């Protein structure tokens, strides 16, 4: 089945220690998104890639970076995690938002910062 | 940015009851989406709506895209325990790639 895959599902990192979360998709979608979701809140968009074109949200901290080496993979790098960065990180994809807007989410990676 | 107001915030209902939740916006959207999120999982798309006035069903779920393009509702008929979760509405305009989420409706179903 075509899907969005996130690894790992659970990640523990130390305060200030860089961490990378990964996402892959078999949907061949043009757009890949990274969201941060804290408990009982809606997902908050961090950035997205439209093909190779990177689009950062204005309020996304510089501590968060992303890479998309090819269509299938996208990475979220947190350079120096703080306690406030503990959250669920969701990857999503869409074909082309100008045609159809639905996004398909992966299962998420829950990040704990100790 | 565009704000989505989703209500109610939470609902406690008895198994078998019908449920209704809605979202309103100050701006128009071209697409309305409804997602369900179980604890520890990513949101799962339930229904997507693309035209003003469109009414779409998915099993016991029915959603409508408001005529003004500024609102949408989701109904769940004859609720069952596995309907428990958080339901999010989301809206998208064609002039950007962003999708705006409502704050979510937490549904609890008592057997």
* Cβ neighbours of A83 (radius 10 Å): 9
Alpha-carbon span B25 to A40, nearest angstrom: 21
The model's confidence at residue A110, banded by pLDDT at 50, 70 and 90, is very high
Please say if the pLDDT value at position B25 is more than 80: yes
If DSSP codes are grouped into helix, strand and coil, which group holds residue B67?
coil
Question: What pLDDT, on the 0 to 100 scale, is given for residue B54?
Answer: 95
The model's confidence at residue A50, banded by pLDDT at 50, 70 and 90, is very high
The average confidence (pLDDT) of chain A is 94
Alpha-carbon span B7 to B39, nearest angstrom: 20
The token duo for B77 is 């008929």
Chain A interface disruption, residue of B4, B21, B40, B42, most A CBs within 10 A: B42
Q: How far is A49 from chain B (nearest CA, A)?
A: 10
Indicate the residue of B86, B88, B99 with minimum beta-carbon distance to A101: B99
The model's confidence at residue A12, banded by pLDDT at 50, 70 and 90, is very high
Please say if the pLDDT value at position A108 is more than 70: yes
A29 and A3 Cβ atoms separated by less than 8 Å: no
Please say if the pLDDT value at position B19 is more than 90: yes
Alpha-carbon span A103 to A72, nearest angstrom: 15
Question: What pLDDT, on the 0 to 100 scale, is given for residue B96?
Answer: 63
CB distance from A31 to chain B under 8 Å? yes
The token duo for A112 is 């704990």
């Amino acid at each position: 089945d075509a899907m969005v895959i996130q690894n790992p599902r659970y990640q523990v990192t130390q305060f200030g220690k860089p961490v990378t979360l990964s996402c892959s998709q078999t949907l061949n979608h043009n757009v890949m998104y990274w969201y941060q979701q804290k408990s009982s809140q809606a997902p908050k968009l961090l950035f997205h890639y439209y093909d190779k074109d990177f689009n950062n949200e204005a309020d996304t901290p510089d501590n968060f970076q992303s890479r998309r080496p090819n269509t299938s993979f996208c990475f979220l790098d947190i350079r120096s995690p703080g306690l406030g960065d503990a959250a669920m990180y969701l990857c999503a994809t869409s074909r082309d938002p100008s045609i159809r807007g639905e996004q398909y989410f992966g299962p998420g990676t829950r990040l704990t910062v100790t | 940015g565009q704000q989505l107001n989703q209500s109610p915030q939470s609902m406690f209902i008895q198994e078998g009851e019908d449920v209704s939740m809605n979202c309103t916006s100050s701006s128009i959207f071209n697409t309305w989406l409804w997602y369900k999120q179980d604890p520890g999982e990513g949101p799962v798309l339930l229904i997507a709506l693309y035209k003003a006035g469109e009414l779409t069903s998915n099993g016991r779920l029915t959603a409508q895209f408001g005529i003004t393009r500024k609102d949408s509702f989701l109904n769940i008929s004859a609720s069952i325990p596995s309907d428990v979760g958080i339901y999010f509405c989301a809206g998208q305009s064609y002039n950007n790639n962003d999708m705006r989420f409502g704050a979510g409706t937490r549904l609890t179903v008592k057997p």
